[in-house]
Copies of this chain bind each other. A is one copy, B any other.
């Protein structure tokens, strides 16, 4: 096994952005916390979060050739060239990374919609706050983020088939996950916003039809969305 991914086993969460890259590239990887055996399982993951050099603040993190790399966008920055999912030019790579960091911002905000008070409490204990936060997220933030992604597709000199350059990158894969996520969590608000971003929807559809991604989505390795992840469907938060 070349790559060992460490992330919570029962949800898509931030780990899913890394899984999609590994799956699209057909990489030889192990989703360690989902396996059983010695040096596997959730214990193997939490064990690597202290007492070793350069341990990460939080999952996901990746182990490769004796290195540990944390932070979703940094993992993808590392994996991109190795998996053939990033451009060759340094400045193009930085642009791709900048797009991914903006994905991370959207993901953090999507999480905070159901946890506006903090991660230490259940959703049920912060519902009034979540109702208020969801309103702004639906009406202002989802459209603002999706419009920005649409604009990038629109302005790509190599055409709107990809975010950067003329071939598939890890950020294209992340766009698939973002569209799926907002559709799952906020079906009404997402439908409204996505009507204005046809190129983003077309990209999502192309990614869904990539043979490796299609096989992954049909497999047990793709955990369904659920109410432990980043994108959670609480009907009262949508409108």
A residues in contact (CB < 8 Å) with B: 50, 53-54, 56-57, 67, 69-71, 73-74, 77-78, 91, 94-95, 97-98, 101-102, 105, 108, 112, 116-121, 126, 129, 132-133, 136-137, 140-141, 145, 148, 151-152, 155, 157
Contact = CB atoms under 8 A, between A and B. Distances in A.
A116 B133 contact: yes
A132 B129 contact: yes
Contact of A98 (B56, B102, B137, B155): B56
Contact of A126 (B56, B77, B121, B132): B132
Number of copies: 2
A101 B71 contact: yes
Given A94-B78, A148-B57, A118 B105 contact: no
A17 to B, nearest CB: 14
Contacts of A53: 155, 157
B120 A140 contact: yes
A237 to B, nearest CB: 13
B118 A97 contact: no
6 contacts: A57-B102, A71-B101, A71-B102, A77-B97, A112-B116, A117-B133
Q: Which 7 A-B pairs have the closest CB atoms?
A: A118-B136, A71-B101, A117-B132, A116-B116, A129-B129, A57-B102, A74-B98
B101 A73 contact: yes
Given A116-B129, A117-B133, A126-B132, A105 B140 contact: no
Nearest to A55: B151
Given A57-B105, A112-B112, A129-B132, A98 B71 contact: yes
Contacts of A70: 98
